[in-house]
Each structure stands twice: as C-alpha cells, then as structure tokens.
Amino acid sequence: MFNLTLFIEIMPKLLSACRLTIAIAFFSTFIGVTGGTLLALAQRSSIKPLRWLVTAYITLIQGTPMIMQIVFFYFIIKLPFSPIVVAIIAIGLNSCAYISQVIRSGIS
C-alpha cells in the first residue's frame, strides 16, 4: 500500500538527492565534453607520442568499470577532495574517453 505520511516525510531527502544527482551529472558532463573534445583533437594530431598516450588512456578507461575507477581515485590515489568531488572527477574522466570517440568519429 502507498503510505502518504511516509512519502511526505521523506520528500525533502528525495529532493536533496535529486539536486545532488543533477549537480554530479552536470559537472561530469561538462568535464566529459571539454576533455573529450581535447582528446579527440589530440587523437587526430600528427604528433605520434601524443596519439599513443591518448589511445592508451581511452583504451584503459573504456576497459575498466566506472565504479572501479571511482574506487581507484578515492581509495588508492586518495585525492584530497570530498567523495562527491572525487566521483565527479572520476565520472568526468570516464566520460572524456567515450565522448572523445563520438567527437573523433564525427570529425572523420
């Protein structure tokens, strides 16, 4: 059964979680589009070592699960930020790899 009092009681927490989710998505997308564009341009560069580095980064990031990357940045690298900022950075860097391939193929 639907419990209206419980729904009204937890609504502020749900709205707060929605705001946080939207903020994480916005900033991660910004990092992903900006970085992805730079990676796509670097991958089309005539500088071979740069192309190799970008290709290695993209292959590594696309080959590992995102949750593993978040755990890596938070527990192993121990970035000196809050968990939310570390998640934004990790998700943004993951998005960079995928978006770079979309932009690179669009350029081609």
Q: What does the pLDDT read at residue 66? A: 95
Give pLDDT < 70 ranges for the chain. none
Q: Return the pLDDT at 79.
A: 87
User: Does residue 29 belong to any structural domain of this protein?
Assistant: yes
Query: Which pLDDT belongs to residue 18?
Result: 96
CATH (domain of 62)? 1.10.3720.10
Check: CB of residue 42 under 8 Å from CB of residue 51: yes
AA letter at 50:
L
**Residue range 33-47, pLDDT digits in tens:** 999 999 999 999 999
For position 2, what pLDDT does the model report? 84
27 inside domain: yes
The sign one gets for the Cα dihedral 88, 89, 94, 100 is: positive
Number of CB atoms found within 10 A of residue 7's CB: 10
How many independent structural domains does the chain possess?
A: 1
